[in-house]
Structure 1
Amino acid sequence: MTRDFIHINDFVILVEAANSEKPILDSCRFEEPLVAVAFYGSGNVDLNVAYGQEQIPYSYTKGLTLSFFADEKVSFEHTVRPDSPLQCIVIATALRNLEQLPHNEGELFYELLSELVKPKAPYVEGPRFYMTPEMERIVESIFGNHYTGKTKMMFFRSQVTALLSHFFGQLALAQESKAISKYSTQLQRAKEILVANLENPPSLNQLAQEIGLNTTKLKKEFKDVFGVPVFKFLQNERLDTAHTLIQNHGMSIQEAAWQVGYDSLGSFSNAFSKKFGYRPSKLINS
């Protein structure tokens, strides 16, 4: 498990990663009331937010962006499993620092996260959505960082600024179009169905019927919220899962391809190399 705290201006950035061969509970609290945004990477941990008698579970965190206010009484509990590693970036600032943030960043918090700036409970959830492909690439680059010292700080400063810019940009767009969370329950269910059935996914019509939307609405809203069409999301999930099965679980290329629903090894290898920039055989030989 690694947990790095980085201070940039009046922001505190927590970069946390954990893998485990058996289920473990990773718990943390903040030392003072904070407004924060969490970005979850390629892992898919269970998150439980606890304070007093309240328990708020989040069951599908891969790619999730979650904004919130939390005071020092709130505990964030991640359940890490062999197939569900933790990758989480939290960008936080104390309420007392909002007006001092550079480049008018504090104004964005007041305008777009007003419910968090004036909280009415120890924990208040703000807007949440799944990251766009651009945001996912930034998160991947942060966890793939190999810089040290001043170069690392420069790299983190640029990436965190870009990540926050995309986050507030998505909020502004959603506020204009009223797109956030109108169909979030159905769309999250659609995402869970696809992830649970990579080998034999439902057709678009079947998926639409199961979540209670028509196919046209499903295609439009899915792309608006997740940034990619339904088929592209399914393909990315298949390839990400196959990558993990080959690299971390010792599966052969053929076994991994079958496990995620590819009948043709050639089609799998071509799609894999297009996404990752190298053929799956590189994982076997490295």
Structure 2
Amino acid sequence: MPADTADAAIRAVVEKAGLVETLETVPLRHGLLHQSAQVLDAPQQYSAPLPPGLHLSCGIARLRSAHPRLGDFRFDGLGLTAILYEDEPEPFETRIDKGPALSCGLYLTRAQLDDAAPEGLGDIAVRLAAGSRLRATDRPPATVVASLCRPVDPWFQGAARRLAMEARALELAAMTLNWLSLSAQPDSRPALQTRRAERAREILEANLADPPDLTRLAREVGVNVRSLTQAFRLTFDASIAAYVTRRRLETAHGLLVEGMGVAAAAGRVGYSPAHFSTAFLRHYGYRPTDLRPH
């Protein structure tokens, strides 16, 4: 597939999603990088197939997408997907909720995969072909996703801008490969350890605005602090503090999208307005006030 054809195919999908207004596409040596960042005033629901090839994408949005052969996924903020798409006759059915929708993606045609894909991208394709051809996670590294989805500074122009885009594409590929490699490692968690971590999560979810400290949480679960923190990290791939922060911000994000004010949403999840704005910007890459309807 020629570069202009690949560009047109990606643009057709993004246009159906209602995100073409800020779309930037850049043909690179190893695929087509595409980025968009805008705030949707209303939900977008669309049906679209993908062009055949390898699709890597990370983003920040509230969405759900399903394909009859490949499966489905849902994100309430951060998300990372890797899809090896063949000539599937059925399209993806997708709904994106109103609010910010930021994305950074890399598309390689089948010819690029066969002829010129660097080792890392080839490894990703091999892993997908050997198992599920659609993989998704709602727990990618937040700072990396926010950085990748942030528009490249216009100060970069010409060959320098293309080089910056190449770096961004490689970082997206590296994040995807690392995630797939980690998720392929055998699960060595004992069942009791997992149950304790899940019990701790239930307690935290019920008390996000005022979570118990580690000593109290460990006592309620029935273990010491060290055992609990180790079990939680192994089970959920995050520290207890990082998990609470992420879930607080995701909950507040949903409240803001529904129309609640920033101060009220911050208070609902246990933040002061000033600390909330700083944490929200660090996590999502944009300010809570950016969610106000235009």
- TM (norm. structure 1) is 0.65
Aligned twin of 1:46:
64
Aligned twin of 2:41:
21
In structure 2, distance between residues paired with 1:34 and 1:180: 34
Asked if residue 178 in structure 1 is aligned to residue 186 in structure 2, the reply is yes
| 1:45, distance to aligned residue in structure 2 (A) | 0.9
Aligned twin of 1:34:
53
Superposition CA RMSD, Å:
4.6
1:252 to 1:15, Cα distance in 2 relative to 1, 3 A: closer
Aligned-pair identity in percent equals 15
| 1:115, distance to aligned residue in structure 2 (A) | 2.1
The count of corresponding residues between Structure 1 and Structure 2 is: 253
5 Å-filtered alignment, 1:1-286, equals 1-3=18-20, 4=23, 5-17=25-37, 19-31=39-51, 33-41=52-60, 43-50=61-68, 54=69, 56-60=71-75, 62-72=77-87, 73-83=89-99, 85-101=100-116, 103-109=118-124, 111-115=126-130, 124-126=133-135, 128=137, 130-139=139-148, 142-147=149-154, 150=158, 151-175=160-184, 177-178=185-186, 198-199=208-209, 215=228, 218-222=231-235, 224=237, 228-239=238-249, 242=252, 249=259, 251-253=261-263, 255-262=264-271, 265=272, 269-270=274-275, 272-273=277-278, 276=281
- Give deviations 1:148-189, integer Å, cap 9, x for gaps: 7535433222111112112213333444x4259999x99999
In structure 2, distance between residues paired with 1:9 and 1:109: 17
Q: Which has the higher contact order (CA 8 A, sep 6+)?
A: 2
1:219 to 1:182, Cα distance in 2 relative to 1, 3 A: same
In structure 1, distance between residues paired with 2:47 and 2:219: 39
In structure 1, distance between residues paired with 2:246 and 2:209: 13
The code of the aligned residue for 1:145 comes to: V
In structure 2, distance between residues paired with 1:48 and 1:37: 16
Between stretches 62-71 and 16-25, larger displacement belongs to 16-25
What SS is found at the alignment partner of 1:39?
strand
What SS is found at the alignment partner of 1:130?
coil
Whether contact under 8 Å (1:26, 1:79) holds in the other structure is yes
Please list every run of 5 or more consecutive structure 1 residues that lacks an aligned counterpart in the other structure. 117-122
In structure 2, distance between residues paired with 1:111 and 1:62: 28
Whether contact under 8 Å (1:208, 1:218) holds in the other structure is no
In structure 1, distance between residues paired with 2:233 and 2:210: 23
In structure 1, distance between residues paired with 2:152 and 2:188: 31
In structure 2, distance between residues paired with 1:193 and 1:219: 13
In structure 2, distance between residues paired with 1:270 and 1:23: 29
| 1:89, distance to aligned residue in structure 2 (A) | 2.9
In structure 1, distance between residues paired with 2:139 and 2:32: 22
| 1:131, distance to aligned residue in structure 2 (A) | 0.8
